[in-house]
């Protein structure tokens, strides 16, 4: 695709890219991703989203180990008995990401600072103020030719994540986004047609 990518092109071609090359991503591009994420709206304009870009191999390995700890039991039932070929391809990509996460050039962790310690389901009470930033980041990554796919499995043990990343107790880590240059090709996403997923005024 030549020339600048339009927003519509980015939206309709923003596949989850889990197989990523180990090639370094320039710091300037990583800063561009976070700047785009930072422009997203937040509840009451509180701007509590915080971002940690992990490039250090030791740090990446620690996050990869946390991801494996929670991902393996989560995907095992489906991995052993996938519903169809499509699900098998998806699971193969998830397993690849699990096995190679420590080699991916940048792991971006989206956090929120509550200003007080939160636990349990409380860590999600203002998550809606972080996910618009995540989507901005994903679309910007696509426009720059970078692959990305958000995951939450590595973040199930908040205390462990806080220890790895040196996060204050007031922080909750909500999403981990591996970012790098994709091994495969970008292409259009496949989604259900509008007539199946929307109605005007009432559902029925």
End-to-end CA distance of the chain: 41
pLDDT of residue 3: 56
109, pLDDT greater than 90: yes
- On the CB side of 38, CA atoms within 13 Å amount to 9
Q: Could you tell me how far CA 83 lies from the centroid of its own chain?
A: 24
Kindly report the backbone phi and psi dihedral angles of residue 119, in degrees, each rounded to the nearest multiple of 5, phi listed first.
-140, 165
Q: Is residue 171 classed as helix, strand or coil in its secondary structure?
A: strand
Share of the chain above pLDDT 90, in %: 77
Q: What is the pTM of this model?
A: 0.92
Question: Which of 1-10, 34-43, 68-77 bottoms out in mean pLDDT, i.e. has the lowest?
Answer: 1-10
4, pLDDT greater than 80: no
Domain ranges of the chain: 13-180
124-143 in b/e form (b: 16+ CB < 10 A) is eebeebbeebbebbbbbbbb
Cα–Cα distance, 161 to 143 (Å, whole number): 30
The backbone region for 92, taken as left when phi is positive above 0, alpha when psi lies in -120 to 50, beta otherwise, is alpha
CATH level 3 topology of 13-180:
NADH Oxidase (3.40.109)
pLDDT of residue 1: 39
For residue range 180-197, list pLDDT tens digits in order: 999 988 888 889 999 999
pLDDT of residue 74: 87
For residue range 159-174, list pLDDT tens digits in order: 999 999 999 999 999 9
52, pLDDT greater than 80: yes
- Residue 41 token pair: 């709206």
pLDDT of residue 187: 83
Cα–Cα distance, 148 to 91 (Å, whole number): 16
Parallel, antiparallel or unpaired: strands 171-180 and 147-148: antiparallel
For residue range 86-99, list pLDDT tens digits in order: 888 889 999 999 99
Query: What average pLDDT does range 49-66 have in this prediction?
Result: 98
Look over the chain and give the mean of its residue pLDDT values, rounded to a whole number. Answer: 93
pLDDT of residue 87: 87
Non-local (6+) Cβ contacts of 145 within 8 A are 181
Query: What average pLDDT does range 40-54 have in this prediction?
Result: 96
């Amino acid at each position: 695709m030549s020339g600048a990518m339009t927003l519509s092109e980015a939206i309709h071609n923003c596949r989850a890219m889990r197989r990523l090359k180990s090639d370094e991503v320039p710091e300037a591009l990583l800063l561009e991703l976070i700047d785009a994420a930072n422009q997203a709206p937040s509840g009451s304009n509180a701007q509590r989203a915080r971002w940690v870009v992990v490039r250090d191999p030791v740090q990446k390995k620690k996050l990869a180990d946390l991801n494996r700890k929670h991902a393996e039991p989560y995907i095992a039932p489906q991995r052993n008995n996938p519903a169809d070929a499509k699900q098998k391809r998806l699971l193969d990509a998830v397993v690849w990401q699990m096995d190679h996460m420590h080699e991916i050039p940048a792991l971006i962790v989206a956090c929120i600072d509550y200003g007080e310690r939160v636990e349990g389901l409380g860590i999600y009470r203002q998550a809606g103020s972080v996910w618009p930033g995540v989507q901005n980041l994903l679309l910007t990554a696509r426009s720059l030719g970078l692959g990305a796919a958000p995951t939450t499995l590595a973040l199930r043990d908040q205390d462990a994540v806080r220890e790895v990343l040196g996060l204050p107790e007031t922080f909750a880590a909500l999403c981990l986004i591996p970012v790098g240059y994709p091994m495969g090709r970008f292409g259009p996403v496949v989604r259900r047609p509008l007539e199946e997923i929307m109605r005007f005024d009432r559902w029925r």
